Structure 1
Amino acid sequence: MRDAVRAGGWHPSHAARWFPVLCGERLRAAPVAATLLDRPYALARDGAGRAFALEDRCPHRHAPLSQGRCSDGGLSCPYHGWRFDAQGRLCEIPGMPADAALPQVRVRAAAVREHDGLIWLRPDGRDEGELPAMVRRNPPGSRRFLWQTQWRAHIVDAIENFLDPLHTHWIHPGLVRRGGARRPATARFVPSPQGFAVDYLGQAQQSGLLYRLFESPRESERALFDAPGSAQIEYRYANGGIVRISLHFAPVDAATTSVFASLHVENRWAPAWLVRALVWPLLKRVNDQDARMLALQSDNLRRFGAVRGASTQLDLVRPWVEAFWNHGAPPADAQAKDVALTL
């Protein structure tokens, strides 16, 4: 599997990391196809309802297992019915005499975990290590919605977009922030081996419609990143409430990134039906605006080739994320710093 990831242009260490690949509610009686790091998988559930993932290729005649069916706790190929268990072992060949030995073939399996509505996959097949800390921190029952989509963008560009507040005046004018209402602020960047945090100081309020409709004075605003692809904006309010908007990113390939969005709320009245009816349409609009700009960016990068973008001290998160995805580790010279800006 490490060679497969390397062949796709990904650092081999990413095969030993956990990525979300599907909202759990989408995996029911039939298998579902998903792609991670250029590797296609067939996801299915066993007889006990546990999710598992196999490489999406039957070793017999290479038909996609995702087009097969779940049977007897395993997954049967749509072509000749070869059945494989959750570990990828061949269990049955229809038409084979009962006393005949099955060939010693199997399908590669990835490790799978299901947590808080998402199915997570580790490509190297080892069920080891923890899911991102921000995923484990959310209290049970605090999730208000969960949604998945795809952005036509490299994962580094996708992560940077979500964690970058300076584009919001231009891409989401009036919705997130208003260009004519900028105020001085300080961004405090604190890196760690697992990610980083950015605290935005001096931003008790935000100028856009979303804040005016649904929020109250803030105690803090923090952007968080947990490697490999989990990012979060956390708002803590003077009245004790907490809102966390999380996006988990998983690369389909170098040009496409799966995005899993969730909203968690603590200590404030915000029933899921109300969030879906009033808040979600506006957040969906924000998503669509970001997706459009990322697609334009991606198309232009293809037009001009591998060119490196100019950066300033305001581009806080890009160096960490880019180093991690290119080299499998954060930049060795990453240091805490304060940056003055207007938001």
Structure 2
Amino acid sequence: MLVTKQLVLQRFWYPVVPIAQLLNGPQSFELLGQKIVLWLDASGKPAAVRDRCCHRSAQLSKGKVVNGNIVCPYHGWKFDSNGACVHVPQAENSPISTSYKVSAYHCAERYGYAWVCLADPLKDIPEIPEVADPQYRLIHEFYEPWHCAGLRVMENEFDTAHPTFVHTETFGSEEHPVPDSMEFSETEWELHFRSVLGVVNPSLQKQNLKMAQDKTVRTMHMTWFMPFTAKLRIAYPNGLVHIIVNTTTPINDSTSQIVQFCVRNDTEQDTKGEDIIAFDRKVTLEDKAILETTDFDVPLDINQEQHMLTDKPGIIMRRKLAALLKKHGEVEQIRR
């Protein structure tokens, strides 16, 4: 599936830029192959429009923000958050034509990021209720591009067979090449997966978990939010809950922006945030090394690749995405 060719994927929300970056001025981003620019308007809310002035096509992201409007660096035209031109310096006393506008996109702040939807949204931004729970803390982990498909990352998050072979330096256990249990349930827009997996505890993880054992058990409740957001709720025997939220924002067909944060029911005094990030980062770099070797054109037709029992979550994802395309009158676009 080539994500830039499937128009229905423009109808979902994706985190694109940390809000903190917008404090420094306009930021450019490529979302599903489209160049957009983001900035903070006069009320401090994020805004997103096409990164191309309607006058002579200069990049608006090279300009500046004045009174909440973005100013083109070429001739100084100003545009508001709706994409309408509100000032033309060369025509101070003339009315501005309504044709002087650029495409504007849905934009909202959530979880410390500016989220964008390029067309009318089919669903709201995924809900992570623990972020608002005072018993939990939010830790931003990393934000970077990976050269792989978002669907590959989503399948990997739900793949309980790979840790033995990929996560050899972190938590993978040779004694547990498959999980002890797997349970599935679906809604129209989500996949819920419950699993129990035996893992090992290297020294840093022992410190993070406040556990002395060399081995432990992860009880995982994972939620896939169509199309490219995963929530992994990992519960440990000592009561600690470590929630990882990962969104693979599609830059283009071959590259995804990986946005990951975690939510935990402990405090900085219990475990330093930098130690939590260090361990999770080591895990994700192990994933990245493998995922960037995979084909970005992930076939939704399950007959195009071979499968095993632990691939069931990925098979469900592919079938649900294929059904989504069919419902909206689209066919899977692939490389030829």
TM-score band w.r.t. shorter chain:
0.7 to 0.9
Deviates more, 1:280-289 or 1:207-216: 207-216
Q: How many residues align?
A: 315
Query: In the TM superposition, what are the counterparts of 1:54-133 in structure 2 within 5 Å?
Result: 54-102=49-97, 104-124=99-119, 126=120, 129-133=123-127
- Cα displacement (A) at 1:50: 1.0
Q: Secondary structure at the match of 1:258?
A: strand
The CA distance in 2 between the partners of 1:75 and 1:317, in whole Å, is 43
**Amino acid of the structure 1 residue aligned with 2:131:** N
SS where residue 73 of structure 2 aligns?
A: coil
Distance 1:162 1:172 in 2: 12
Are 1:282 and 2:279 counterparts? yes
Deviations 1:188-234 (A, max 9, x none): 12222121111113x4x522426534335668322221112210211
Amino acid at match of 1:291: K
What does residue 291 of structure 2 align with? 294
Which is worse superposed, 183-192 or 23-32? Answer: 183-192
Residue 318 of structure 1 is aligned with which of 314, 320, 326?
314
Structure 1: which amino acid aligns with 2:171?
V
Contact 2:141–2:281 under 8 Å retained in 1: no
2:204 is equivalent to residue 206 of structure 1: no
Shift of 1:63: 1.0
Gaps of 5+ in 2: 328-336
- Residues 253-282 of structure 1, C-alpha deviation per residue, up to 9 Å, x if partnerless? 11011111011012x344598121x22222
Q: CA deviation at 1:54?
A: 0.3
- The question of whether the paired residues in 2 share the 8 Å contact of 1:33 and 1:43 is answered with yes
Q: 1:97 to 1:17 in 2, by over 3 A?
A: same
CA-CA distance at 1:69 after TM superposition = 0.8
Q: Residue by residue, what CA displacement relative to the aligned partner does 1:61-103 show, whole Å, maximum 9, x if unpaired?
A: 1111111111121111111111100100011112224135446
Instruction: Name 1:171's counterpart in structure 2.
Output: 166
Distance 1:103 1:272 in 2: 57
Separation in 2, partners of 1:127, 1:72: 28
**TM-score when scaled to structure 2?**
0.84
CA shift in 2, pair 1:291/1:73, >3 Å: same
Q: Secondary structure at the match of 1:111?
A: strand
Aligned-pair Cα RMSD in Å:
2.9
Aligned residue in 2 for 1:248: 247
Give the 5 Å matches for 1:263-274: 263-266=262-265, 268-271=266-269, 274=272
**Structure 1 residue 323: deviation in Å?**
3.1
Amino acid at match of 2:311: D
2:156 equivalent to 1:161: yes
Distance of aligned partners of 1:287 and 1:184 in 2 relative to their CA distance in 1, 3 Å threshold? closer
> Structure 1: which 5+ residue stretches go unaligned?
1-5, 332-343
Deviates more, 1:32-41 or 1:220-229: 220-229
The CA deviation at 1:44 is 0.5
Is 1:65–1:75's contact at 8 Å kept on the other side of the alignment? yes
**Using the alignment, how far apart are the partners of 1:240 and 1:139 within structure 2?**
19
Question: For residue 309 of structure 1, what is the aligned residue in structure 2?
Answer: 305
CA distance in 1 between counterparts of 2:271 and 2:24 reads 27
Report percent identity of matched pairs: 18
Q: Is 1:44 the counterpart of 2:39 in the alignment? A: yes
Asked if the contact 2:222–2:230 (Cα under 8 Å) also holds between the matched residues in 1, the reply is yes
CA distances 1:30-69 after superposition (whole Å, capped 9, x unpaired): 1001111111110011122111000111111111111111
Deviates more, 1:62-71 or 1:21-30: 21-30
* TM-aligned CA distance change 1:127 to 1:181, over 3 Å: closer
Partner of 2:227: helix, strand, or coil? coil
- Distance apart, 1:180 and its partner CA: 4.2
The amino acid of 2:199's aligned partner reads Q
Q: Provide the secondary structure at the position in 2 that maps to 1:26.
A: helix
Distance 2:45 2:163 in 1: 40
Q: Does the CA-based 8 Å contact 1:84-1:90 persist in structure 2? A: yes
Q: What is the DSSP-based 3-state SS (H/G/I as helix, E as strand, rest coil) of the residue aligned with 1:297?
A: coil
